[in-house]
Structure 1
Amino acid sequence: MTVPPTGQYPQQAPPRPPGPAAPQQFAAAAMGLVKVYGSGPSAVQALGGVNAGFPRGQFSAIMGPSGSGKSTLMHCLAGLDVATHGQVTLGELNLTGMPDKQLTQVRRDRIGFIFQSFNLLPTLTAEQNILLPLELAGRKPDPRWFQTITQALGIAERLRHRPSELSGGQQQRVAVARALVTRPEVVFADEPTGALDSKSGTNLLNFLRQSVNQFGQTVVMVTHDPVAASYADSVTLLADGHIAGRIERPTPDAVLNALRGLGG
């Protein structure tokens, strides 16, 4: 495993608020989660009985070497992939064995997604891209919430522009607004800073931190970068499809040292 150098982003994570006094509730959890791809001699086990919970109202990161199963875990938690064995829950809802139609509705109504590749529709304006999930669900936007997130993300003046007229950082912020506009229970972010320059990456991480601190959002992020992970409240470490540890209130150095200990 090659551990990326620290310092990819010029700023350190802002201070985190004190932890909640009340018992934590998991916004998403896996119990005995096994994921196998293929069958017979060519079968590959990506996850081998994972037990993990991600608290509501917190920023959680998932890290591990390449092939550790971190993206598979996130995809199963988000209902994008189906567990071979075990159970996945979203709040009180059991996603295991859920029919495809119902699972599609859960993803649309209760989950937000942020991907490295933005996934914006080129023919739509920024505003139309942001509001697309609500339009598909037949729901009306909350004008006050829409204004809050677009202003907080610094894209309120760019809403009539198409993706080709926006910088990479602006496109990613549009994608973040799209993920938040439905007020999802959980936002899953898969390497959200991977295609951004250092300044844009810092701005995005600061906003994800802000969305948790100020808006009570729950964020679960897969990342390979120790500095990006330091913005989270906790880091869940994976190795060879199994939980390998957990770091509370992570620092870049603590994360880097833990990754090196996983076979770097």
Structure 2
Amino acid sequence: MSETAQTTDLPAQQPEDQPHGRHAAPAPPVASARGLTKVYGSGEAAVHALAGVDVDFVRGEFTAIMGPSGSGKSTLMHCMAALDSPTSGTVVVDGVDVSTLGDSALTRLRRDRIGFVFQSFNLVPTLSAAENITLPLDIAGRKVDREWHDTVVGILGLGPRLSHKPNELSGGQQQRVAAARALVGRPAIVFADEPTGNLDSRSSAEVLGFLRRSVDDFGQSIVMVTHEPSAAAYADRVVFLADGRVVDEMRSPTAESVLDRMKTMDA
């Protein structure tokens, strides 16, 4: 089946020449949530992980999500990435109301429009780095854009490591493979859940620098959950959550300004 036929029930991809970068004019949201709630359990045991979140993520921007432990950061990301279903409210990704999709269309949305970078890498141990990078495209039967693939691999410095299995790579190299896998299909948005949580400071800087460059140079849209002010400083904008709600946001963050804001939330 052709790529066009695979996505006939989804709106057309947005053009890739949208304004982007730290100093760009405002662009329309690539993903939005309205009245988003997520409740685990029921009755007195119910946990309200999200309690009515309204948020927009702008196309061609790098957004960090921060908040105290239990604030709903990862739950929000999983609902936005269509990896979990909200209890109520709406999620729109690249013009698609996620709640209206059946299972097959939801699978195509996740496969074709959304990239995801996990803290634990989630690489297939029996495959080489090269095979892990192209795995989603191979499963979808989509042709790899070799020029873009080589650009991503080159920026991440993975060329000499493409034949290696994950157990032959350092943690930083594994996360760079995971980042390449998320980007190689040119998704509308990439979600990254604590992508530097298992990395040392040098490897963290390499991965964050690549995410930053993918926004500035290629117009990618990135949303990253992190607890590290130094990581949030790579973003254009920080959204702060507390008790399942958006309570503040900050543009042009620095590690110091984010840390100061987090201190007031923990007080």
TM-score, normalisation: structure 1: 0.91
Instruction: Say whether 1:190 aligns with 2:183.
Output: no
Percent identity, aligned pairs only?
57
SS of the equivalent of 2:265 reads coil
**Which residue of the partner structure matches residue 72 of structure 2?**
69
CA contact (8 A) 1:76 1:83 kept: yes
Amino acid at match of 1:182: G
Give how far 1:71 is off.
0.6
Amino acid at match of 1:64: G
Amino acid at match of 2:237: S
Matches within 5 A, 1:105-116: 105-116=108-119
CA distance in 2, matches of 1:183, 1:238: 28
**Which residue of the partner structure matches residue 244 of structure 1?**
247
Give how far 1:38 is off.
1.4
CA contact (8 A) 1:83 1:96 kept: no
**Which residue of the partner structure matches residue 24 of structure 2?**
20
SS of the equivalent of 2:108 reads helix
Bigger shift: residues 231-240 or 83-92: 83-92
Amino acid at match of 1:20: A
- Residues 82-133 of structure 1: per-residue CA shift (max 9 Å, x gap): 1111110002110124322221211011100101111111110100000100
Q: 1:18 to 1:73 in 2, by over 3 A?
A: closer
Gaps of 5+ in 1: 1-15
SS of the equivalent of 2:70 reads coil
Give how far 1:17 is off.
4.7
Amino acid at match of 1:43: A
Give how far 1:24 is off.
1.9
SS of the equivalent of 2:238 reads strand
CA distance in 2, matches of 1:17, 1:97: 32
**The one of 179, 184, 189 aligned to 2:182:** 179
Gaps of 5+ in 2: 1-19
**Which residue of the partner structure matches residue 126 of structure 1?**
129
Bigger shift: residues 55-64 or 158-167: 158-167
Runs ≥4 residues deviating over 6 A: none
SS of the equivalent of 1:96 reads helix
SS of the equivalent of 1:134 reads helix
- Residues 1-22 of structure 1: per-residue CA shift (max 9 Å, x gap): xxxxxxxxxxxxxxx955223x
CA contact (8 A) 2:27 2:60 kept: no
CA distance in 1, matches of 2:133, 2:251: 33
Q: 1:18 to 1:60 in 2, by over 3 A?
A: closer
Amino acid at match of 2:59: R
The number of equivalent residue pairs is 248
Q: 1:17 to 1:104 in 2, by over 3 A?
A: closer
SS of the equivalent of 1:83 reads coil
Matches within 5 A, 1:96-245: 96-245=99-248
Amino acid at match of 2:60: G
Give how far 1:43 is off.
1.3
Give how far 1:165 is off.
1.0
SS of the equivalent of 1:52 reads strand
SS of the equivalent of 1:75 reads helix
CA distance in 1, matches of 2:109, 2:23: 29
Amino acid at match of 2:133: I
SS of the equivalent of 2:157 reads coil
Question: Does 1 or 2 have the higher relative contact order (CA < 8 Å, sep 6+)?
Answer: 1
**The one of 82, 85, 100 aligned to 1:82:** 85
